[in-house]
Structure 1
Amino acid sequence: MTMTASFDRRQLLAGIGTAAVAAGLPSGAAAFVAPDKDARLDALLMRQFEAGLVEDPTGATSLALDTGARAALRSRFPDWSAAGRAAKAKRVDRNLAELRAIGRSGLGDQAGLAWDCAEFDLLARQRLNRFRYHTGGFCHRPGPYAVTQLGGFYTGVGTFLDSQHPVKTRADADAYMARLAAVPALIDADTALVKKNAAAGVIAPRFILDKALQQLARLRDGEPASKTLVSSIARRSGEIGLSGYGDRAAAIFAGPIRAALTRQIEALTALLPRAGDAPGVSGLPEGEAYYAAALAQHTTTTMTADEIHRLGLEQVADLNARMDTLLKAQGYRDGSIRDRLAALGNAPGQAFANTDEGRAELLAYLNGRLVAVRERLPRVFSRLPKAPYEIRRVPPEIEIGAPGGSAQAGTPDGSRPGIFFINLRDTGEWPRYTLPTLAYHEGAPGHLFEGALKYEDAGLPIYRQTASVTAYGEGWGLYAEQVADELGMYDDDPLGKIGYLASFAFRAARLVVDTGMHAKGWSRDKAVEYLAATSSKISAAQTEIDRYIVYPGQACAYKIGQIAISRLRDEVASRPGFTQAKFHDTVLGAGRVPLTVLEWRVGAAFPAA
């Protein structure tokens, strides 16, 4: 099923890079290619990639690259001091200057693609870096606030150390302890950044601070041994025959970490009287320009907030009409779409028990869907990943403010599987009919599937395998739901088909509410009410809206990316040599790329007759 909208393909796929990028893309006649220039570019991008690992050692750990000559990185965190953040911004400027010194002309197709992608990424980061309050890095989702319910070292350091930092040797355990000892300074650096931004008039809304404070208190209080930061090293060090690490970790938590969390709680509490209720960034210094830069980075288009808002309204109306037909066929005829989805969610057989046993059953059902869809994927994919992927629960201690879920890619060497973390604080937020499409979006053929194939492509250099482009990545996840539908995964599951359409409507509504809050003055309540109309739970809508508030623009990437990929497929479907498998090979064969680069790549693979 291909969704329709009034915006033509050229408008949707307009890039945010310089005009020279589009002008430099190869045409039918091949330009002169200097292999030595391709090699120079590859060497530069590898050197910049290596420098990035040193700057952010957690990235090296996440990719299982902190071994051999990089082994020292395993015991370090990024430098999050003011000087460290300034150095990071300067490196972006320097990398861009080095890239442009090589130039785009004369590069081969693959090298040219790498150049275009690198320039896009560096330009996008440079644009956002000029807003001094912009925050982005390890445990910090790109946004204007340093500490929120979703951002700040306190939100991600436990999950990172538990699920990504290996503990297989004494050296690994010692590296864990070195990182644990560095946590208080990182929390304090966040606190200092909060105060600095507050002095410039950048303060998160009061309800965001309230959520962050609840989570900080939940992390700080209670027995140290129960905390993931402590229990993880205690358990895993014991499994390899080491002793004493749990006690040492508990002492670090009870002392310096707890004290740093208290200082952060005090700093955020002090800001509550000054915090407002406006959810959008328009009231921040240069807020309108900041939001435009965030939209451009996440969607990789030049679509304005007004254009995205209108597109969202059109998509929601179309999808609601489709759901109306299917709901009536299942006997749900009366009330709004939201009311009928709520009734469906409360129907017998839809709820999993809100207990540990019920959560385990829910996880088993999701992972079962991944097994089922895998049998059909060879019909439209020429390659299936060898690496495993799975779905797990978000750690309970951060689930209050965490989003509904998030994906964690596996490692290039296959030593750690791809994982999707689902928030199971309330299983009532996940009725059975919503789960199949979640499995396809996050698992296969969505994020974890795509990520594993990317890492298993020997032809992709590591800097392309690890690239992140929101519109492509999230667009592919939503497009994967469409592929699952086309493979017949809902043929004997009409309620799951309703869940699929509701998922699309939910992402379309994001276009409306994100732009509504950040560009059109919508209140939080108005945004929640609008989003909840495509959902069955107000609580889930509130969690999502609060995510968009602190992470402006990102929520627009899903539907923009899906529409772009789907329309590109429709455009080339009648051209010579087209098959679904070849199209998917083309889309997946370059790693994550801006939509403009993807447009060129697909057009080159399927030229018009």
Structure 2
Amino acid sequence: MKATRRGVLAGLGVLATPALALGSRDDLRAALDAAEKDSDPASALGRLARFDASALPPGQRLDLLTARAGLALDARLASATGTQRFALLLQQRSGTGVTPERTRMRLTREVGRLTARADRLFRGLGRTQGSVGERYRALFADPQWHYPDSDAGRDQAVADMNRVLAAARARVPALLGPVPPFCLDVSARRLSAAEVAAGRGGYRELPTPEKPGAYVVDLKDIARRPSWSLKGAVHHELLPGHMTQMPMEVLAAPHPLRLRFAPSYAEAWGMVAEQLAAADGAYKRDPLGELGHIHWLLFRVTRGLADLGIHLDGWSIDQARAQLIAWQGEPGYFAPFEIDLPRLAKEPATRAAEAMAWLDLADTAARIRPAVRVRFHQAMLRHGRMRTEAYGDWKRLI
């Protein structure tokens, strides 16, 4: 029997949530639709004023609260300039409690923590010379960890990723609790020859009840994807990362205004998923793989700091590049400096917001007793994306 959206949701317990009368639900949806089309944020907010968020089921409550928060920030952004505009964009893309000052402090602390972890691992491997960034550059350049630049080498890289994926798939129930079975029906595969010829990058095909999903990995410049760097990509892009959160969000069907005003959540979940796999032993007796995991985390955090540096501290692109090299050595595969830094300069607060959405989510989870953390993960997945201020209200999302 073919799985249906309603059947999957019922299996997860989503349909057991107490709800308002159907007319009230339809009224809210109509008001949100009208607010989305309204070019005046203040007027759009007025359309939502009559609804009581506390009386709504979880998904609709998230829709309403997210829309209100985002539209209120839109209204303030209309006349904001300079550092005030950056601060408002940061809040709009992450959460109302995320300020530039708190962001700088939190990201700086995380860079220090990750750098210390990497240093210990490098020393354990006998790599003691140079800064952590310099040691990462040397590790990336070490040919013993490179796949052959051939079809056979790329096939081997994908096979290695799928072996990591098999172990990650087995971890999902203990880490996340029940997820729709089709979320687990995913794999890694190569770009086709035609896609490579067309210059296409890596991409995702989300699973559905009718078809499996895939992370189609870009291995064109395979020397930049050493074997120790791929485990983290599996946990982020596949399981327990995007291939759980994104398909479950499709089922939850958040309103477009929630998609617009909680844009950093998908990446936040992907980063938390990497950390969940690591904490569950994915890198036990694998210091090189753990260094790869830490490098991905450093990549996200230091991009956030570069965002602050460019837009608040007046860094040039060259200054930002030099600092990123000092911190992480090499860029993430899909974000080479020559492409990523000009984009970062054009998109103020985007990378800082992504980093804080992730770290606030991780920090919230860390404050929850391990015995109930799976329930927290269920709450974070079941109804789709949210802003950081919703994390602490997780018990109302179950």
Q: Give the shorter-chain TM-score range.
A: 0.7 to 0.9
**In the alignment, does 2:92 pair up with 1:297?**
yes
| 1:297 to 1:466, Cα distance in 2 relative to 1, 3 A | closer
Q: Look up the match of 2:282.
A: 489
| Equivalent in the alignment of 2:340 | 544
The reply on whether 1:385 has 2:180 as its aligned counterpart is yes
Q: How many residues align?
A: 371
1:119, CA displacement in angstroms? 1.8
1:467-482 equivalences in 2 (<5 Å): 467=259, 469-482=262-275
Secondary structure of 2:365 counterpart:
helix
**1:132-151 aligned within 5 A:** none
Whether 2:238 is the aligned partner of 1:446: answer: no
Q: For structure 1, which segment, 343-352 or 503-512, has the greater mean C-alpha deviation from structure 2 after superposition?
A: 343-352
Contact 2:229 2:292 in 1 (8 A): yes
User: Is the CA contact 1:301–1:595 (under 8 Å) kept in the aligned structure 2?
Assistant: yes
Within 5 A, what are the aligned runs for 1:112-191? 112-124=61-73, 130=78
| Deviation of 1:553 (Å) | 1.6
Q: Does 1:311 align with 2:311?
A: no
Offset, 1:378:
1.8
Matched letter for residue 389 of structure 1:
V
The amino acid of 2:317's aligned partner reads R
In structure 2, relative to structure 1, the CA distance for the partners of 1:462 and 1:415 (3 Å cut) is farther
**Distance in 1 separating the partners of 2:54 and 2:397:** 20
CA contact (8 A) 2:254 2:384 kept: no
Q: Separation in 1 of the partners of 2:40 and 2:224?
A: 43
Unaligned stretches of 5+ residues in structure 1? 1-32, 53-86, 132-284
User: How has the CA–CA distance of structure 1 residues 463 and 286 changed in structure 2, closer, same or farther, with 3 Å as cutoff?
Assistant: closer
Structure 2: distance between partners of 1:303 and 1:544: 23
Question: For residues 581 and 302 of structure 1, what CA distance do their matches in structure 2 show?
Answer: 25
Structure 1's 471 and 301: CA in aligned 2 closer, same or farther, altered over 3 A?
A: farther
Distance 1:561 1:106 in 2: 24
* Aligned counterparts of 2:329 and 2:322: Cα–Cα separation in 1: 11
- CA-to-partner distance for each residue in 1:238-289, whole Å, 9 max, x for gaps? xxxxxxxxxxxxxxxxxxxxxxxxxxxxxxxxxxxxxxxxxxxxxxx93434
Gaps of 5+ in 2: 1-17
SS in 2 for 1:572: coil
| CA positional deviation for 1:427 | 1.8
Note the alpha carbon deviations across 1:356-408, whole angstroms, 9 max, x for none. 554443334333322221012222222133233344567547759x7xx6x64
Equivalent-residue separation in structure 1 for 2:397 and 2:46 (angstroms): 31
Map Cα deviations across residues 498-534 of structure 1 (whole Å, 9 max, x no partner).
1112222222212211100011100111111211234
Separation (CA, whole Å) in 1 of partners of 2:41 and 2:111? 38
Greater relative contact order, per chain length (Cα 8 Å cut-off, separation 6+): 2
Supply the AA of the counterpart residue of 1:463: H
2:20 aligned residue (35, 38, 50): 35
Counterpart in the other structure of 1:430: 225
Is the CA contact (8 Å cut-off) linking 1:306 and 1:515 kept in structure 2?
no
Partner of 2:369: 573
The Cα shift of 1:304 comes to 3.0
In the other structure, the counterpart of 2:51 is 103
Tell me the residue number matched to 1:584. Answer: 377
Q: Secondary structure at the match of 1:579?
A: helix
Q: In 1, are the aligned partners of 2:254 and 2:383 still within 8 Å (CA)?
A: no
TM-score, with structure 2 as normaliser: 0.80
Find the residue that maps to 2:367 and give its secondary structure.
helix
Residue in 2 aligned with 1:560?
356
Return closer, same or farther for 1:34/1:301 CA change in 2, 3 Å cut-off: closer
CA–CA separation in structure 2 for the residues paired with 1:118 and 1:124: 10
How big is the shift at 1:116? 1.0
The CA deviation string for residues 180-233 of structure 1, in whole angstroms up to 9 with x for no partner, is xxxxxxxxxxxxxxxxxxxxxxxxxxxxxxxxxxxxxxxxxxxxxxxxxxxxxx
What is the Cα deviation at residue 303 of structure 1? Answer: 3.1
Q: CA deviation at 1:423?
A: 4.1
Amino acid at match of 2:20: P
Using the alignment, how far apart are the partners of 2:19 and 2:293 within structure 1? 48
Q: State the SS of the aligned residue for 2:180.
A: coil
Conservation of the 8 A alpha-carbon contact between 1:300 and 1:471: no
* Partner SS, residue 323 of structure 1: helix
Q: Which has the higher helix share?
A: 2
Q: Which residue of 1 aligns with 2:39?
A: 90
Instruction: Give the superposition deviation at 1:435.
Output: 1.1
CA gap 1:473/1:123 in 2 versus in 1, 3 angstroms: farther
Q: Is the 8 A contact 2:66 2:258 kept in 1?
A: no
Q: 2:392 aligns with which of 594, 599, 603?
A: 599
CA-CA distance at 1:536 after TM superposition: 3.9
TM-score, scaled to structure 1: 0.54
Aligned match of 1:346: 141
Q: What is the one-letter code of the residue matched to 1:570?
A: A
- Taking the aligned partners of 2:73 and 2:213, their CA distance within structure 1 comes to 27
Matches within 5 A, 1:335-414: 335-387=130-182, 388-391=185-188, 395-396=195-196, 408=204, 410=206, 414=209
Q: Structure 1 CA distance, aligned partners of 2:289 and 2:295?
A: 10
Q: Paired residue for 1:519? A: 312
Shift of 1:595: 1.3
Is the Cα–Cα contact under 8 Å of residues 87 and 99 in structure 2 kept in the other structure?
A: yes
Match for 1:325: what amino acid? R
Q: Is the partner of 2:355 in helix, strand or coil? A: helix
Asked if structure 2 preserves the Cα contact closer than 8 Å seen for 1:311 and 1:511, the reply is no
RMSD over aligned Cα, in angstroms? 3.4
**For residues 483 and 35 of structure 1, what CA distance do their matches in structure 2 show?**
36
CA contact (8 A) 2:134 2:329 kept: yes
- Judged with a 3 Å threshold, the aligned counterparts in structure 2 of structure 1 residues 97 and 361 are, in CA distance, closer, same or farther, namely farther
Change in 2 beyond 3 A, CA 1:534/1:365: farther
Cα separation, partners in 2 of 1:506 and 1:367, compared to 1, 3 Å: same
Quote the Cα distance in structure 2 between the aligned partners of 1:307 and 1:443.
31
Alpha-carbon distance in 2 for matches of 1:568, 1:392? 34
- State the secondary structure of the residue aligned to 2:55: coil
Range with bigger deviation, 484-493 or 293-302: 293-302
Residue 324 of structure 1 and its aligned partner are, at CA, apart by: 0.5
